Amino acid sequence: MKNRYWIVWMAVALLVMFAPLPTRAAPPQERFYRVEASQFEYRPAILKANPGDRVTIELAALDVVHGLAIDGYNLETTAEPGQPARLTFTADRSGAFRLRCTMTCGNLHPFMIGKLNVGDNQLLWRASGLAFLAALAGAASRPGREGLASILQAWRRQR
């Protein structure tokens, strides 16, 4: 890669990594999720909330007794069939948190998991931005190619 390009790539990469993203001014909401638990899954398995949201999860066991724990939030409940249980909490920690069953409900019980996503996944966006840049840089560094037009052409061919 030519020297002058290297500087530009670095600048853009730093921008992708550290530029502040516009924060969504989403006021905290009430969220209700009914999660149906059966051997060996949760439906839905992925829950989302914005930081500050008041979240209620109703756990309904459809076949046998199931549990639901949210790692990182220290929350846990169990539900018997026909007797839903509820958890209510404020999503005051951002990130991805694992949901898992706390009742040994059968042979695939360890695989009974889900996820609670709190907040925008900025890391994911930044990571895909960097991957895109790396692909561009790779295309641009091929011998005999210069300029944005050929970079874009190369990128199109790669897909």
Q: Give the nearer residue to Cu ion in terms of CB position, either 105 or 137.
A: 105
Binding-residue total with Cu ion (CB under 5 A): 4
Using rule CB under 5 A, residue 109 touches Cu ion: yes
Whole-angstrom CA distances from 50 to 71, 113, 122 are 17, 21, 13
Contact pick of 70, 91, 101, 139 for Cu ion (by CB under 5 A): 101
Q: Distance (Å, rounded) from C-alpha 140 to C-alpha 136?
A: 6
Burial of 110 (0-12, 13-18, 19+ CB in 10 A): exposed
- Cis peptide leading into residue 89 (ω within 30°): no
Min separation Cβ 65 and Cu ion, Å: 8
Min separation Cβ 88 and Cu ion, Å: 22
Nearest to 99 by CA among 77, 82, 130, 81: 77
Residues 41 to 80 in contact with Cu ion, rule: CB under 5 A: none
Using rule CB under 5 A, residue 93 touches Cu ion: no
Q: Distance (Å, rounded) from C-alpha 68 to C-alpha 114?
A: 9
Q: Which stretch binds Cu ion (CB under 5 A): 14-22, 50-58, 107-115, 150-158?
A: 107-115
Min separation Cβ 103 and Cu ion, Å: 5
Q: Give the nearer residue to Cu ion in terms of CB position, either 59 or 101.
A: 101
Point out which residues bind Cu ion (CB under 5 A). 101, 105, 109, 112
